[in-house]
């Protein structure tokens, strides 16, 4: 039975078993196994390639840094007087700044996470409770810092919140703008744009879709599928919360850094003018550089928005800006990809600007400015006296402006350079809109330096030059009597003031009396004899019609009328022009500085000096110190001027003040010292008061200082400018600026 053949049922079962392991099925199994192993090999190969080939690239991206420069402010030089009074100086300014992440509300989670990680070890970071506790401590530290900062700086909560919100709005606006441009740039270049793939026809079949996903996952670098957010510099830097903190506040912050994390004090400087109004037109002002000025003055390595240097706008601050300007230092700062500072070093130390010493006598300058201020507000009303320059018995008008200048006759050093009305230099260092509006609405234009920019007719103070021109041309005998009938040819024109007031003339006079009594007709006659050319030539020789070369900006040249004659009409015109020029009218205009220079030349023997306000003892003066034009800062001899002529003119100038018939005798003369000078009343337009002048020098016999007093629309020279001159010279005596011994009269 054992050897019986199997029946058909057993045979069919065995056939099924054989069919289960047929060759096609085994092949597919082996193929699937090979595919699986192949994918594993690809994945392992990709991992190995990333680790071996891309490691440097990833590390480079993580360690990417940016470098830039920060400005270290430098002090600008001081402006001092020779008595060591400080007229302009930089003082320390303390700015309280807080890091943006300590102000940001709500707090940046990435920043909080970094702070938490810095508080915990690797093992502690795995404990969720410890992480949450550390996070709460970070948030509490922010709140405590805010509270303590408000206490130290005396900021109220609303003020602090206002500043905080303003800073956050500014930074958010910058961040959004930068990231918006970044996204647009990425979209245009196709970087991280997965949307374009979605427009293609979807792959057919599940296997094809899986293959696409696997290929994308294996070949796409991390982060390439999205546009990464850029952290702007403003999010990882400090922002000003208190711009000008007192020193006590800065000291407390330095002492309590443990209570004020994320807070620092930055020491800068600001320009101050301790004497405010004193010599404001001469000292000038410095203000921040405007945007349109940055490119020309930007130091190497400095970005425009970081540069806060100042520039002189007028006065010595402008003309000596290159001397006063400090050189800012440079700090090289390296930041990581989060804009956190990883390295900082100073590459250039700041260099302070050099001091400038002025020639001004501060006490005398203040006194002169006080005299002008009083005159502009309440002009003196002296008793009427019968003088040439007195026009009526009416009260003197209140001037609209004025200037007083005192200059050494041999060196050109200015001891006084006053202009009125003045202004407070603190307007340029911090003032309210109301203060600015008040000054700008002043119709007298207080910002104009009348010493160098007020070109007006000189009136009779030009007559010494007319006398010199007539004497040197040989057309005038100083000792010959001249009969003044009160007018030249017609009673209604070319008259003396005495004729207009009293209907008479000066009778027989010589040059000395003509200068002392300011006789117009005498000088009309002299101009008629010599003609226009010599008169114009001598005005030019004394420096009229061109700048004096003072070391201040915005000097005007004035005007000397006339041009070479080309025909009979021109000859007639110049003849009329000569009559007006001889008495300081016509279209002749001069500045107070030009006239004090003329007086100095007459006093020092015919040398034309260059006025200056910066002392050679405190600062070497060369032409390039002032501007690019070549200038001769030495004395220059006036050609053709003889000592005999000067002696005759000086005799008349002395008589103006020292003789009873002189126009300055009653209002200018002092007992202690002899004064030489000339009054002048310059006519202006109809309906406007005349300009009042007095020019001269002191002492009369041994001149040390020349001076000028001019009151714009101030009326009579003798009655308006005369009393101011007397007060000025008295102050010069009291301050020992003028030696009484040198000026004492001979007994």
Residue 136 scores a pLDDT above 50:
yes
pLDDT at 615: 87
Q: What is the secondary structure of 571-634 as a DSSP string?
A: HHHHHHHHHHHHTT-TT-BB-HHHHHHHHHHHHTTSEE---BSB-TTTS---GGGT-SS----S
Longest dimension (CA), the chain: 187
Give the CATH number for residue 589. Answer: 3.40.710.10
Q: Which domain holds residue 372?
A: 362-743
- The yes-or-no verdict on residue 195 having pLDDT over 70 is no
Q: What is the DSSP string of 118-186?
A: HHS-TTGGG-HHHHHHHHHHHHHHHHHHHHHHHHHHT--HHHHHHHHHHHHHHHHHHHHHHHHHHHHHH
* Spatial distance between the Cα atoms of 703 and 602, rounded to a whole number of angstroms: 10
Q: Which pLDDT value is given to residue 547?
A: 95
264's tokens: 């620092």
Q: What is the residue whose two structure tokens read 């019609």?
A: 545
Per-residue pLDDT of 667-693, as tens digits, reads 999 999 999 999 999 998 888 999 999
Q: Are 261 and 102 in contact (CB under 8 A)?
A: yes
Q: What is the pLDDT of residues 299-349, one digit of tens each?
A: 555 554 455 678 899 999 999 999 998 888 888 888 776 656 778 888 888
Contacts of 589 by beta carbon, 8 Å cutoff, 6+ apart:
455, 456, 457, 458, 558, 559
Average pLDDT over residues 152-173: 93
Q: Tell me what pLDDT residue 284 has.
A: 95
Q: How sure is the predictor about 162, in pLDDT bands with cuts at 50, 70 and 90?
A: very high
Most confident range (mean pLDDT) of 60-69, 322-331, 434-443, 506-515 is: 506-515
* HSE of 151, CA atoms in CB hemisphere, 13 A: 11
Q: Tell me what the pLDDT averaged over the chain comes to.
A: 83
Residue 566 confidence (pLDDT) above 60 = no
Express as a percent the part of the chain with pLDDT over 70: 80
- At 236 the pLDDT is 84
Confidence band of 628 (pLDDT split at 50, 70, 90): very low
Structural contact between residues 401 and 444, judged by C-beta atoms closer than 8 angstroms: yes
In a domain, 214, yes or no: no
Q: Is residue 200 domain-resident?
A: no
CA gap 564, 549 in Å, rounded: 27
The pLDDT, as a whole number, for residue 740 is 72
Whether 236 is covered by a domain: the verdict is: no
| Structural domain total, the chain | 1
The CA-to-CA distance between both ends of the chain, in Å, stands at: 182
pLDDT of residue 621: 41
State the pLDDT at residue 385. Answer: 33
Report whether pLDDT(3) > 60.
no
Helix (H, G, I), strand (E, B) or coil at 205: coil
Give 249-293 pLDDT, tens digit per residue.
999 998 888 899 989 898 888 899 999 999 999 999 998 887 777
In this structure, are residues 116 and 128 in contact, taking their beta carbons and an 8 Å threshold? no
Q: Is the pLDDT of residue 209 over 70?
A: no
Of 308 and 202, more confident: 308
Residue 659 DSSP class:
S
Segment among 70-74, 84-88, 170-174, 259-263 with least mean pLDDT: 70-74
Q: Whole-structure pTM over 0.85, yes or no?
A: no
What is the C-alpha separation between 147 and 162, in angstroms, rounded?
15
Answer yes or no: is pLDDT of 196 > 80: no
Three-state DSSP state, 253? helix
Tally of CB atoms within 10 A around 170: 13
Between 625 and 706, the higher pLDDT residue: 706
Helices (H), 65-127: 100-103, 109-119
Residue 503 forms part of a structural domain: yes
- pLDDT beyond 50 at 76: yes
Distances (CA, A) of 58 to 55, 65, 514: 5, 14, 98
Does residue 267 sit within a domain? no
Residue with tokens 């009393």: 723
**What would the mean pLDDT of 18-35 be, rounded to a whole number?**
69
Identify which has the larger pLDDT, 193 or 538. 538
- Could you give the angle at which helices 643-658 and 463-472 cross, rounded to 10 degrees? 150
Is residue 329 included in any domain, yes or no?
no
| 213 within a domain of the structure (yes/no) | no
726 occurs within a structural domain = yes
C-alpha to C-alpha distance for 614 and 621, rounded to whole angstroms: 8
Question: What's the rounded mean pLDDT across residues 149-163?
Answer: 93
Q: Which two tokens mark 381?
A: 């009303």
């Amino acid at each position: 039975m054992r050897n019986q053949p199997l029946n058909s049922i057993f045979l069919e079962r065995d056939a099924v078993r054989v069919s289960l392991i047929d060759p096609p099925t085994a092949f597919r199994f082996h193929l699937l196994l090979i595919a699986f192993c192949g994918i594993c090999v690809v994945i392992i190969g990709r991992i190995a390639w990333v680790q071996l080939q891309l490691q440097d690239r990833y590390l480079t991206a993580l360690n990417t840094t940016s470098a830039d420069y920060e400005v270290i402010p430098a002090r600008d030089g001081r402006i001092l007087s020779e008595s060591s009074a400080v007229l302009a100086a930089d003082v320390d300014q303390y700015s309280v700044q807080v890091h943006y992440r300590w102000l940001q509300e709500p707090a940046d989670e990435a920043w909080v996470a970094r702070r938490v990680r810095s508080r915990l070890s690797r093992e502690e970071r795995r404990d969720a409770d410890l992480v949450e506790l550390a996070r709460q401590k970070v948030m509490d530290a922010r709140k405590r810092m805010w509270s303590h900062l408000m206490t130290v700086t005396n900021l109220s909560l609303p003020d602090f919140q206002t500043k905080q919100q303003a800073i956050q709005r500014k930074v958010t606006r910058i961040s959004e703008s930068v990231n918006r441009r970044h996204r647009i740039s990425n979209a245009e270049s196709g970087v991280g744009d997965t949307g374009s793939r979605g427009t293609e026809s979807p792959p057919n079949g599940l296997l094809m879709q899986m293959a696409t996903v696997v290929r994308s996952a294996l070949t796409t670098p991390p982060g390439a599928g999205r546009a990464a957010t850029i952290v702007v510099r403003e999010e990882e830097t400090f922002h000003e919360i208190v711009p000008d903190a007192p020193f006590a506040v800065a000291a407390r912050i330095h002492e309590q850094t443990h209570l004020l994390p994320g807070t620092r004090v930055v020491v800068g400087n600001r320009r101050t003018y301790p004497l405010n109004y004193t010599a404001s037109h001469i000292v000038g002002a410095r203000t921040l550089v405007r945007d349109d000025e940055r490119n020309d003055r930007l130091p190497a390595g400095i970005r425009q928005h970081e540069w806060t240097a100042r520039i002189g706008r007028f006065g010595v601050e402008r003309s000596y800006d290159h001397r006063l300007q400090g050189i800012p230092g440079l700090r090289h700062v390296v930041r990581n990809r989060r804009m956190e500072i990883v390295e900082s070093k100073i590459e250039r130390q700041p260099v302070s600007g050099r001091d400038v010493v002025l020639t001004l006598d501060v006490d005398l300058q203040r006194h002169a400015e006080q005299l002008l201020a009083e005159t502009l507000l309440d002009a003196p009303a002296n008793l009427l006296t019968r003088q040439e320059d007195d026009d009526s018995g009416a009260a003197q008008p209140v001037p609209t402006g004025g200037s007083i200048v005192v200059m050494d006759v041999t060196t050109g050093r200015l001891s006084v350079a006053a202009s009125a009305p003045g202004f407070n230099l603190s307007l340029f260092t911090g003032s309210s809109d109301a203060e600015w509006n008040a000054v700008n609405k002043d119709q007298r234009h207080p910002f104009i330096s009348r010493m160098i920019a007020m070109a007006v007719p000189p009136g009779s103070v030009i007559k010494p030059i007319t006398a010199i021109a007539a004497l040197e041309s040989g057309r005038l005998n100083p000792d010959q009597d001249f009969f003044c009938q009160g007018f030249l040819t017609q009673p209604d024109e070319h008259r003396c003031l005495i004729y207009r007031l009293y209907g008479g003339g000066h009778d027989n006079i010589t040059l000395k009396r003509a200068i002392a009594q300011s006789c117009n007709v005498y000088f009309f006659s002299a101009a008629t004899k010599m003609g226009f050319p010599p008169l114009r030539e001598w005005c030019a020789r004394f420096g009229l019609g061109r700048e004096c070369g003072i070391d201040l900006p915005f000097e005007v040249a004035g005007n000397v009328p006339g041009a070479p004659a080309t025909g009979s009409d021109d000859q007639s015109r110049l003849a009329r022009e000569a009559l007006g020029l001889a008495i300081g009218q016509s279209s002749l205009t001069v500045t107070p500085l030009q006239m004090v220079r003329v007086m100095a030349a007459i006093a020092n023997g015919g040398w034309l000096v260059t006025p200056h306000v910066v002392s050679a003892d405190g600062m070497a003066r060369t032409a390039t110190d002032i501007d690019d034009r070549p200038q001769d800062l030495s004395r220059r001899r006036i050609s053709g001027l003889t000592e005999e002529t000067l002696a005759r003119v000086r005799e008349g100038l002395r008589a103006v003040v020292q003789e009873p018939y002189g126009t300055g005798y009653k209002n200018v003369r002092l007992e202690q010292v002899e004064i030489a000078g000339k009054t002048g009343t310059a006519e202006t337009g109809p309906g406007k008061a005349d300009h009042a002048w007095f020019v001269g020098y002191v002492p009369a016999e041994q001149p040390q200082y020349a001076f000028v007093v001019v009151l714009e629309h101030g009326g009579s020279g003798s009655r308006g400018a005369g009393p101011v001159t007397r007060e000025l010279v008295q102050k010069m005596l009291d301050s020992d600026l003028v030696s009484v011994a040198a000026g004492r009269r001979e007994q």
